[in-house]
Chains A and B, each alone.
Chain A
Amino acid sequence: MQYSFTTEQNEFRGVLRRFFEQSSPPPVVRRLMETEAGWDRALWRDLNAQLGLCGVHVPEAYGGMGFGFVELGIVLEEMGRALLCAPFFSSAVLATNAILNGADEAQKAALLPGLVSGDTVAALAITEPDGNWDPGAVATTARQADGRYRLSGVKSFVIDGHSADLLIVLARLPGSKGEEGLSLFVVRGDAEGMRRTALQTLDPTRKLARIEFDGAEAELLGKPGEAAGPIARTLAQAAAMLANEMVGGAERLRESALDYANLRVQFGRPVSSFQAMKHKQADMLVDLELAKSAAYQAAQAVADDQPDFPAVASLAKASASDVYLQTAIHTIQIHGGIGFTWENDTHLWFKRAKSSEVLLGDAVWHREAMMRAWVDGGREVQ
């Protein structure tokens, strides 16, 4: 197990940080979050043409860079820090990994190069209007007729689902229950029998959509009825990566709170000289370092494909859920009245913290997932 980043990884982080400071400063975030799509093709193309980020962890055979999840975690941490408005988490993390885990060789070769280049944007549709993060709860069905699959049902909370070119959809074979019968499908964005609606989101930097399927034509990915394993794996990887994105955002908040406390003068002294403020900042650092350690550990566990990586990923997501939001709350408090204004940037990260807190399962959900994997399985982590 590795507990520090290599020189190359640190340099990679530096390159990304400079790139996002240039390309995604708060005014750009504010402009993009007001658009319906929530992201911009031109910036998206730059990101992929200059840095090839969508293929960081994808094998070279499919056009990727062939690095691993530690490097992908670094990308996400820096994107979270910059609050980048782009369909990266939906396309490069969720959809790409679903294809890598669940599709057959020919399908990977057909689909991945477009996703890696960024020319195609895909979204992963699992969750339904009941908001249950357990894939076994999926009700959308796929019926086969004349050698073709057609989907019917409703998906919701689909990240970038309204703007993606392709939808990767989890559905079940008729008559199946729980994890049995779960299958993955690809649906073209312009397919007939599909209605996509952008939802009004609390976090304007992460767009969500509702998608109604009424006989939309779909192509099966992998084997029918065998998606439970691949989708569980995809979700655990995504939880680990989301945790990394979240600690990146939390660190940015923590730094802004510290900068402001050093700058702001009341009672003739910097606010940062008050012990109440120093102890709060110390606690924020401690909590964030704990969450970062868990997020890094999870990325490494995923990268090494350790048998208990889903438990570590859940641990990291639970920790990040609590810490990101708490950091955002403290950051608003430290800013005082100005922190509650629209003009101040803190609320942008606060809203991302709130939506990320719940996305893919909240802290309680992930702590229970961790307990089931580690404790009930009798294999306690050391």
Chain B
Amino acid sequence: MTASMEAAVRAEIKDWLAAEWDPNLNLVEWRKRLVSSGWGAPTWPATLFGRGLDPALASIVEEEMRRVGAVGVARSGARNLAIQTLLAYGSEAQKHAFLGPTLTGQYSWCQLFSEPSSGSDLAGAVTRADLKDGRWIANGQKVWTTSADHADWGLLLARTDWDVPKHKGLSFFLIDMRQPGIEVRPLRQMNGYASFNEVFLTDAEVAPEHLVGELGGGWAVATTTLMHERSHGDPSAAKPTEAGGRQGRVYDEEREEIAIATEPYGWYPQRAGRVDLVLERARETGKINDPVVREEIAKLLVLDRSAKWTALRARADLAPGEGLGPTGSLIKLVASHVARSAARVHTLISGADAMLAGADAPRDGVIAEILVSVPAVSIAGGTDEIQRNIIAERILRMPKEGNLDANRPFREVLKNPVPGTR
């Protein structure tokens, strides 16, 4: 990349920002300017909300926007999953209809994949979509759906053919969440939070032009969505453009948008076990001098540090942009061990106080929250058992599990009983 090209891009974005950026606009108005100019997604094609900019020059645009404090396009929550999925599999019409209002933040999204009867076995989904009078009619139940309560659109995985093996009968749809056939109920977790929802679809309608990819090709599309979900960082770590200080309507509205997107994840740090609190707690309780507790703390520190170094080793060997692949399963399984061990050590340190919760419990309830949040780590995003299968089959090349359902029509496969159906 030549210095003159860099300078030209820099001058262009500077001029544009000087003319258009105004922190007193409302957030959507500002983003409409950003998206229609192509500066919001500059590396995308000029025909599709971008400017066809070389990715190597994108950091210059980010830098100049940061310099004036300009807010970027909306990417929080499931928006990025929708964007990536549409970029990979959407028709031209779908991309034009959906990407613009998603980037401006007008559309928010949720992911309708998991079901009560299929968690680890996602391809065993039994929510159905049937074509009637030219429209798809969806019936079934989805679960663990973050943001379903305020989403405008859903990414729906549903079965459209029951006479082929399970992976071949699924299709992928964009479904309007604001319709009478959809009911969203918060799902309360054992730690008291309701970060997710249950979504009931009863004769919910999908327009025929909202099928994504091929009919019966939904599994490949869903796999792409999942890949981006796994490579995404900690959703609780989203930050506003500038932490405080920035004044103006656009900032207030962005802070509100991020608050809504991160609200479900307030307990995520506790879910990971809070190793960072262990030594402080051991000192403030005096348990640092109890030889038994001390030994357990030491074991935790050995595990936690080794886990961190293992993750660094795994990433050190990657080419730029390369994913962790099955090694990610190893890292995830280790994180699960760390969280469980940390919860155990927090219990040892707290003693009888570990029976308390809320304001009566140590650290204003944070310790109690650790104890009742850690069980999520070994389930969410793929259970420990599934990670072990992946490690054994894809790293150690051991024989694959025999499937009883992969080569038979899905109609004939043994399934979980679903209430209200037979």
Question: B223 on the interface (CB 8 Å rule)?
Answer: no
Q: Which of A182-190, A213-221, A228-236, A280-288 contacts B (4 or more CB under 8 A)?
A: A280-288
Q: Given A4-B317, A278-B392, answer yes or no on A368-B298 (Cβ-Cβ < 8 Å).
A: yes
Scan A275-306; emit 1 where CB is below 8 A from any B CB, else 0: 10111011101100111011011000000000
Residues of B within 8 A of A294 (CB): 302, 305-306, 309
Partner of A319, one of B295, B306, B401: B306
Instruction: Give Cα A279 to B387, complex, Å.
Output: 9
Residues of B within 8 A of A261 (CB): 398
**Cβ contact within 8 Å between B305 and A381:** yes
**Cβ contact within 8 Å between A290 and B310:** yes
**Cβ contact within 8 Å between A282 and B391:** yes
Scan B385-402; emit 1 where CB is below 8 A from any A CB, else 0: 101110111011011011
Residues of A within 8 A of B334 (CB): 286, 290
Q: Given A367-B298, A367-B302, A368-B298, answer yes or no on A279-B309 (Cβ-Cβ < 8 Å).
A: no
Q: Given A3-B312, A293-B309, A296-B309, answer yes or no on A286-B391 (Cβ-Cβ < 8 Å).
A: yes
Question: A380 on the interface (CB 8 Å rule)?
Answer: yes
Scan A344-382; emit 1 where CB is below 8 A from any B CB, else 0: 000000000000000000001001101100110000110
> Which A residues from 1 to 17 make CB contacts under 8 A with B?
1-4
**Cβ contact within 8 Å between A315 and B313:** no
**Cβ contact within 8 Å between A296 and B313:** yes
Question: B126 on the interface (CB 8 Å rule)?
Answer: no
Question: B316 on the interface (CB 8 Å rule)?
Answer: yes
Q: Given A4-B313, A262-B398, A367-B295, answer yes or no on A282-B388 (Cβ-Cβ < 8 Å).
A: yes
Q: How far is the CB of A337 from chain B (nearest CB, A)?
A: 22
Instruction: Give Cα A289 to B398, complex, Å.
Output: 18
Residues of A within 8 A of B389 (CB): 275, 278-279, 282
Residues of A within 8 A of B307 (CB): 290
Residues of A within 8 A of B297 (CB): 371, 375
Q: Tell me the count of chain A residues lying within 8 A, CB to CB, of chain B.
A: 39
Instruction: Give Cα A291 to B288, complex, Å.
Output: 25
Residues of B within 8 A of A137 (CB): none
Residues of B within 8 A of A66 (CB): none
Q: Tell me the count of chain B residues lying within 8 A, CB to CB, of chain A.
A: 37
Residue on B with the closest CB to A380? B279
Partner of B388, one of A278, A318, A368: A278
Residue on B with the closest CB to A381? B305
Question: B182 on the interface (CB 8 Å rule)?
Answer: no
Question: B210 on the interface (CB 8 Å rule)?
Answer: no
Partner of B330, one of A273, A286, A319: A286
Q: How far is the CB of A320 from chain B (nearest CB, A)?
A: 10
Residues of B within 8 A of A286 (CB): 330, 333-334, 337, 391
**Cβ contact within 8 Å between A279 and B310:** no
Instruction: Give Cα A278 to B402, complex, Å.
Output: 13
Scan B312-334; emit 1 where CB is below 8 A from any A CB, else 0: 11011100000000000010011
Question: A174 on the interface (CB 8 Å rule)?
Answer: no
Residues of A within 8 A of B46 (CB): none
Q: How far is the CB of A87 from chain B (nearest CB, A)?
A: 30
Instruction: Give Cα A266 to B387, complex, Å.
Output: 25
Instruction: Give Cα A179 to B315, complex, Å.
Output: 43
Question: A258 on the interface (CB 8 Å rule)?
Answer: yes
Question: A25 on the interface (CB 8 Å rule)?
Answer: no
Residues of B within 8 A of A327 (CB): none
Scan A44-66; emit 1 where CB is below 8 A from any B CB, else 0: 00000000000000000000000
**Cβ contact within 8 Å between A272 and B398:** yes
Q: How far is the CB of B317 from chain A (nearest CB, A)?
A: 5
Residues of B within 8 A of A270 (CB): 399
**Cβ contact within 8 Å between A3 and B313:** yes
Q: How far is the CB of B316 from chain A (nearest CB, A)?
A: 4
> Which B residues from 112 to 138 make CB contacts under 8 A with A?
none
Instruction: Give Cα A261 to B317, complex, Å.
Output: 29
Residues of A within 8 A of B333 (CB): 282, 286
Instruction: Give Cα A318 to B298, complex, Å.
Output: 10
Scan B293-305; emit 1 where CB is below 8 A from any A CB, else 0: 0110111011101
Report which residue of B279, B337, B396 has the largest number of chain A beta carbons within 10 angstroms of its beta carbon.
B396
> Which B residues from 363 to 411 make CB contacts under 8 A with A?
385, 387-389, 391-393, 395-396, 398-399, 401-402
Residue on B with the closest CB to A371? B298
A-B CB contact pairs (8 Å), 9 listed? A258-B396, A281-B392, A282-B391, A286-B334, A286-B391, A294-B302, A296-B313, A315-B306, A380-B279
5 cross-chain pairs, A with B, having the tightest CB-CB distances, nearest first: A278-B392, A367-B298, A3-B316, A293-B309, A273-B399
Sample of 6 more A-B contacts, CB < 8 Å, known A278-B398, A297-B309, A318-B298: A2-B316, A3-B315, A278-B396, A282-B389, A285-B396, A371-B301
